Amino acid sequence: MIGLVAVVIAFTGIASAMFAQSTPDFLFMSYNVENLFDTIDNPQKNDNEFLPSAKREWNSYRYQKKLTNISKVIVAAAQNWHNPDVIGLCEVENDTCLRDLLHRTNLYKLHYNYIHYDSEDARGIDVALLYNEETFKPLTHSPLRVVFDDKNRKTRDILYVSGIMTATKDTVHIFECHFPSRRGGQDVSEQYRMVVAQCVRMHIDSLFAKNPNAYVIVSGDFNDYPDDRSIVEGLQAKKVGTDCEQCLLSLEDKKAEGTYKFQGQWNFLDQAMVSNRFLKDYSVEYAVLQNDFLLDRSAKTGETTPRRTYQGTFYKGGISDHLPIIVSFKKQVVR
């Protein structure tokens, strides 16, 4: 297994130095990959922007380059030769994209499989989960569909997956999310993110009712900041250090400016929260991945921005307009 990882890292020439060099028991990653579409028209979805005939000229070459770039990001998240065990993805069109990512890039040398459900999102962008079959064993998984009062309004499903972390034999419950966008303005759209957040929280409360010590991870692109209502009131997430039971704690990377840049300002749309039990039983480290190849740097100001695939309809050849987040878990030894 280590040999395979070494081959991939040698090929890409990149490795992460975000954490102390200790091997985690479980390594989690979440990443909005910015419009991972195939090149085939789906008449049931509004994917017309990402076709060879569209203004973006989304073709097989550009598609394959994006797949290769995403695979390099996944390898770059490795900690001490340990690749991510589970990877939550946002903005994936379909399972064709996932199969191509796992079999048409150097990830084919590893042991990843995927979990994905088609949602009702109008553009057809969904959340998905990749997992290493050797280090994570899924038990149950399902899409949690969100229904608004306005039945014509659709959004991405929440992806719920439970499974066993094989290194520790503990069961973890994962909720990968992509909350509704801020289109129309933050104030107008906030109500929809609140509905999704409350849906997630309801399912978490059901888990806690059965097992107050459940290990829970909530992650993804929330289209809100850590202090916004959908996070603080909807998910009821609290700051690390809060004395609470059966609660979610928001992880923070104080060395990072953000995961997404809008109108020149960095912010944290991409976040991860864990149940308080995790922080009692595990050493948990969190970081925004900020490798140079993920960023464009201004020659004039030195300021950075994510190296995205498109700027409007102009093809830049980058990876994503978001930066990935990674969480490392190491179970503490009870003496």
Quick: pLDDT tens for 89-112: 999 999 999 999 999 999 999 999
pLDDT at 333 over 80: no
Could you report the per-residue pLDDT of 287-323, keeping only the tens digit for each? 999 999 999 999 999 899 999 999 999 999 999 999 9
Return the domain boundaries, the chain. 2-15+26-331
Single-letter amino acid, residue 155: T
Question: What are the residue ranges of helices labelled H in 211-233?
Answer: 229
Question: Rounded distance, CA 31 to CA 133, Å?
Answer: 20
Q: What pairing do the DSSP bridges indicate for beta strands 295-297 and 310-311?
A: unpaired
Specify the higher pLDDT residue, 185 or 279. Answer: 279
Residue 229: pLDDT band (50, 70, 90) is: very high
pLDDT at 9 over 50: no
Question: What are the residue ranges of helices labelled H in the chain?
Answer: 2-12, 60-76, 95-103, 186-210, 229, 276-281
Find residue 265's DSSP bridge partners: 262
SS3 (DSSP) at 297: strand
Cβ neighbors of 164 (< 8 A, separation 6 or more) are: 136, 137, 139, 170, 171, 172
Assigned CATH class of 2-15+26-331: alpha beta
pLDDT at 190 over 50: yes
pLDDT at 18 over 90: no
**Which residue carries 């695979």 as its tokens?**
71
CB 111 within 8 A of CB 132: yes
**Which residue carries 């093809």 as its tokens?**
315
Phi-psi region for residue 289, left (φ > 0), alpha (ψ -120 to 50) or beta? beta
Cβ neighbors of 198 (< 8 A, separation 6 or more) are: 234
Structure token pair of residue 212: 């107050």
pLDDT average, residue stretch 273-285: 97
pLDDT average, residue stretch 175-201: 93
What average pLDDT does the structure give for the chain?
Answer: 92
pLDDT average, residue stretch 195-208: 97
Can you give the pLDDT at residue 334? Answer: 62
